[in-house]
Chain A
Amino acid sequence: MTSLVAKAKQEGSVTFYDASSNIDTSTAAGFQKKYGIKVNVEKLDQAGLEQRFAAEKSSGTNSDDVYFNAIDGFAQSALKNGWLINITSIKIPGFLGSYPASDITGPVALMQERPFGIAYNTKLVKTPPSASLQQLVQQYKGKILLNNPTDGDIYVAYLDTLAARYGSKFLTDLAKGSKLTSGGAAGMQQLVAGEGSIMLLVNKSLVAGAGTGAPVAYVQPADTYAPAFGVSIAAAAPHPAAACLLVSWMMSPAGQATISSASEVASPIYQANQLPQELWKSSWEAEGQPQARKEQLLKLLNIAG
Chain B
Amino acid sequence: MGACTLGLLLAALVLYPFLRVVGGAFFSHGRLTVTAFTSAAHQPDVGGVIGGTFVIVGISSVLALVVGTFMAWLNERTDARWGVSTDALPLVPLMLPSIAGAIGWLLLLTPGVGYINAFLRAIAGAIGVHLGMGGPLNIDSWWGVIFVYMLYGIPYVFVIASAGMRNLDSTLEEQSRVCGAGLIRTLCRVTVPALRSSLAGATVLLLWFSLSLYSVPAILGPQARIQVLSVVIVNLIHFSYPSQTSPAIGLSMITIAVIGVAWLLMRRQIRSGMSAMLSGKSNMRIRIELGLWKWPARLMLLGYVFVAAVLPFIALLLVALTGFWNPHVDFGSLSLAPFRTAIWDDFATRQALLNSLELGLMVATVGMVATALVAEYVRRSRSRLSVLIDGAVKLPATLSSVVLSIGFVLAFSGSPFELHGSLLILFLAYLILYLPQGSVVSDTAASQIGKELVEASHVSGAGAARTFFRINLPLMLPGLIAGWALLFVHATGEINASVLLSTPTNNVVGAQILQLSQFSSIATMASLALALTIVSATAVIMFFGISNIVSRRGNRAKQRSGTLTRAGGRLPDRPANRLL
Q: Which of A51, A55, A182, A212 contacts B239 (CB 8 A)?
A: A51
- Measured in the bound complex, the distance between the Cα atoms of B541 and A109 in whole Å is 52
Q: Which of B44, B107, B243, B413 contacts A304 (CB 8 A)?
A: B44
Q: Mark A34-61, 1 if CB is under 8 A from B, else 0.
A: 0000001111110110111011101111
User: Is B522 interfacial (CB-CB < 8 Å)?
Assistant: yes
- Measured in the bound complex, the distance between the Cα atoms of B415 and A56 in whole Å is 12
Name the segment of A85-93, A186-194, A221-229, A247-255 touching the other chain: A186-194
Q: What are the residues of chain A within 8 A of B218 when measuring CB–CB?
A: 182
User: Is B381 interfacial (CB-CB < 8 Å)?
Assistant: no
| Contact indicator B420/A63 (Cβ below 8 Å) | yes
Instruction: Quote the shortest CB–CB distance from B501 to chain A (angstroms).
Output: 10
| Contact indicator B410/A47 (Cβ below 8 Å) | no
Contacts A63-B421, A150-B239 given; indicate if A194 touches B113 (C-beta within 8 A).
yes
Chain B: interface size category: 35 or more
| Contact indicator B110/A195 (Cβ below 8 Å) | yes
Q: What are the residues of chain B within 8 A of A194 when measuring CB–CB?
A: 112-113, 327
User: Is B503 interfacial (CB-CB < 8 Å)?
Assistant: yes
User: Is B140 interfacial (CB-CB < 8 Å)?
Assistant: yes
- Measured in the bound complex, the distance between the Cα atoms of B237 and A303 in whole Å is 18
- Measured in the bound complex, the distance between the Cα atoms of B237 and A50 in whole Å is 11
Nearest residue (CB) in A for B134 is: A195
User: Is A15 interfacial (CB-CB < 8 Å)?
Assistant: yes
Nearest residue (CB) in B for A206 is: B519
Q: What are the residues of chain A within 8 A of B325 when measuring CB–CB?
A: 189-190, 192-193
Contacts A42-B504, A182-B223 given; indicate if A51 touches B521 (C-beta within 8 A).
no
Q: How many residues of A contact B (CB 8 A)?
A: 55
Q: Mark A250-271, 1 if CB is under 8 A from B, else 0.
A: 0000000000000000000000
- Measured in the bound complex, the distance between the Cα atoms of B501 and A52 in whole Å is 9
Q: What are the residues of chain A within 8 A of B44 when measuring CB–CB?
A: 295, 298-299, 304-305
Q: Which of A47, A61, A212 contacts B414 (CB 8 A)?
A: A61
User: Is A181 interfacial (CB-CB < 8 Å)?
Assistant: yes
Contacts A42-B503, A51-B243, A211-B523 given; indicate if A180 touches B113 (C-beta within 8 A).
no
Q: Mark B242-258, 1 if CB is under 8 A from A, else 0.
A: 11000000000000000
- Measured in the bound complex, the distance between the Cα atoms of B244 and A305 in whole Å is 13
Q: Which of B140, B238, B500, B520 contacts A209 (CB 8 A)?
A: B520
| Contact indicator A56/B239 (Cβ below 8 Å) | no
Nearest residue (CB) in A for B234 is: A48
Nearest residue (CB) in A for B221 is: A182
Contacts A61-B420, A186-B219, A303-B225 given; indicate if A43 touches B239 (C-beta within 8 A).
no
| Contact indicator A192/B324 (Cβ below 8 Å) | yes
| Contact indicator B415/A304 (Cβ below 8 Å) | no
User: Is A285 interfacial (CB-CB < 8 Å)?
Assistant: no
User: Is B235 interfacial (CB-CB < 8 Å)?
Assistant: yes
User: Is B518 interfacial (CB-CB < 8 Å)?
Assistant: yes
List A153-191 residues whose CB lies under 8 Å from chain B. 179-186, 189-190
Q: Which of B232, B239, B520 contacts A48 (CB 8 A)?
A: B239
Instruction: Point out residues on B near A: beta carbons under 8 Å.
Output: 43-45, 48-49, 103, 106-107, 110-113, 140, 218-223, 225, 227, 232, 235, 237-243, 319, 322-327, 333, 337, 348, 406, 409-410, 413-415, 420-421, 499-500, 503-505, 515, 517-523, 525
- Nearest 6 pairs between A and B by C-beta? A211-B324, A40-B504, A60-B414, A50-B241, A59-B414, A193-B113
Chosen A-B contacts, 12 in total, with CB atoms closer than 8 Å, are A43-B519, A54-B241, A55-B243, A60-B414, A61-B420, A148-B222, A183-B517, A190-B113, A210-B521, A214-B324, A304-B44, A304-B232
